[in-house]
Structure 1
Amino acid sequence: MPKQQPALIEVPPMNFLMVDGSGDPNNNPAFQQATELLYGLSYTIKMSKKKGRQPEGYFEYVVPPLEGLWWIEEGSFSFEQRDNWKWTLMIRQPEFVNEELVQWATEELRRKKPELAPEKARFATFDEGLCVQIMHIGPYATEPETMKKVEAFLLEHGLRDRLTDGGKHHEIYLSDPRKARPETMKTVLRHPVAKA
């Protein structure tokens, strides 16, 4: 769990269920559908043991939080202008999850909730590598203030921002925005970097 000061970390490769989209996430039906789809698949996989589909290496676990990758195709990333944002929503999966189990979960969810379009999700490994990470406490709108600490950290430690060469701004949502007060919400901000 990161602190409210930036820290340099090496993130190992991890497996995720992912859904891609674009545009401002606020009041965006595609964004809401992607969130529901990822949780639907993740809980279907978690409950696979009760459906007689216990994969090798299965263990009891809590479904991890929703995460988001954010970027734009051209220009500088801006927290203020969101219409040109591209995003990938994702939920990490345990090591025992494989393509076969994901296909089974996709068919199960399609049977129960075809409106979620389960075929839009993909199962992939994300290898993030060297990053600067910090805990942001407060509403999403105040993230630029926290990111100023990250920018200062990069300068101080001779690090280069990788957003300009294909890296993506990464957020891990530890609080449920439907239940938490905005000023208490916790979001991990992770930024891909390279040594300058």
Structure 2
Amino acid sequence: MKHEWRKVEKDWYLPKRPTLLTLPKLNFITLAGTGDPNQPQFSEQIGALYPVAYDLRMALKRGDLGTPYEYTVYPLEGVWTTDDGSRGAELNKSALRYKIMLRQPDRLTAVDFQASLARVQAKKQNPWLTALKWETYEEGQVLQTIHQGPFDDEPVTFAQLQQVLADQKLKVIPTMGDYWHREIYLTDTRRTAPEKAKTVLRYRVAPQ
């Protein structure tokens, strides 16, 4: 049976309201970058992630890595911070620092990733392929909700999460190093009107 994250892991990816949950250790293909994501470089970086993710998916589906396994490729994610401390309405996009990523099934390994990367590099030209990394990370307790609308309107939804943090006596702690928050993109910005975009906004949290 095909593993579809929208059905099997809907509590992780499709929260209906601000939700607290605890996440286990997960695998990701990642790529670190800086600057305004509206610039062409960001699209090139995303374009380096997906060929490897689809190559791995097909290797599993064919049974090249053991028992055949079929799944839906996971959505693009990103963890974000700024180098100048700007946030919210004062955000300086040129100072953004981020790590974008695609989650991978538990049965895949760093060795599988390296083999896939070599196959993709033999067929595709993208300068960011050499920057891809395999990372295993356990986020632990998180608070998340869905934001619907343009990215520039996210501060309103983050303010709702901040209220939950205050009510629950929780604090935000950095994720995957010193990144401030995580975003999971449930819709493709290239094909979705900004007002219809859906993005999971997630904080890693701990008791105050």
Same fold, TM-score > 0.5, yes or no: yes
Identity of aligned residues (%): 33
Q: Does 1:125 align with 2:136?
A: yes
> Which of 22, 39, 45 is residue 34 of structure 1 equivalent to?
45
Give the distance between the partners of 2:112 and 2:122, measured in 1 at CA: 15
> Which of 18, 23, 30 is residue 30 of structure 2 equivalent to?
18
Q: Per the alignment, in what secondary structure is the counterpart of residue 71 of structure 2?
A: coil
Q: Does 1:56 align with 2:43?
A: no
Paired residue for 2:10? Answer: none
Change beyond 3 A, Cα 1:91–1:137: same
Q: CA deviation at 1:78?
A: 4.0
Q: Is the 8 A contact 1:70 1:86 kept in 2?
A: yes
Q: Does 1:71 align with 2:81?
A: yes
Q: Does 1:9 align with 2:33?
A: no
Paired residue for 1:189? Answer: 201
Q: Does 1:169 align with 2:181?
A: yes
Paired residue for 2:165? Answer: 154
Corresponding letter in the other structure for 2:32: D
Q: CA deviation at 1:58?
A: 4.2
Q: CA deviation at 1:74?
A: 5.4
Paired residue for 2:11? Answer: none
> Which of 175, 180, 191 is residue 192 of structure 2 equivalent to?
180
Q: Is the 8 A contact 1:71 1:163 kept in 2?
A: no
Change beyond 3 A, Cα 1:57–1:94: farther
Paired residue for 1:108? Answer: 119
Q: CA deviation at 1:15?
A: 0.2
Corresponding letter in the other structure for 2:15: P
Corresponding letter in the other structure for 1:55: L
Q: Is the 8 A contact 2:60 2:69 kept in 1?
A: no
Give the distance between the partners of 1:13 and 1:67, measured in 2 at CA: 16
Paired residue for 2:3? Answer: none
Q: CA deviation at 1:167?
A: 4.7
Unaligned runs of 5+ in 1: none
Alpha-carbon displacement from aligned partner over 1:45-102 (angstroms, at most 9, x marks no partner): 112257x771135410111110001013453544621121110000000112112211
Q: Is the 8 A contact 1:18 1:124 kept in 2?
A: yes
Q: Per the alignment, in what secondary structure is the counterpart of residue 178 of structure 1?
A: coil
Paired residue for 1:47? Answer: 58
Give the distance between the partners of 1:56 and 1:77, measured in 2 at CA: 46
Q: Is the 8 A contact 2:184 2:201 kept in 1?
A: yes
Paired residue for 2:106? Answer: 95
RMSD: 2.0
Count residues in correspondence: 193
Change beyond 3 A, Cα 1:49–1:169: closer
Change beyond 3 A, Cα 1:194–1:74: farther
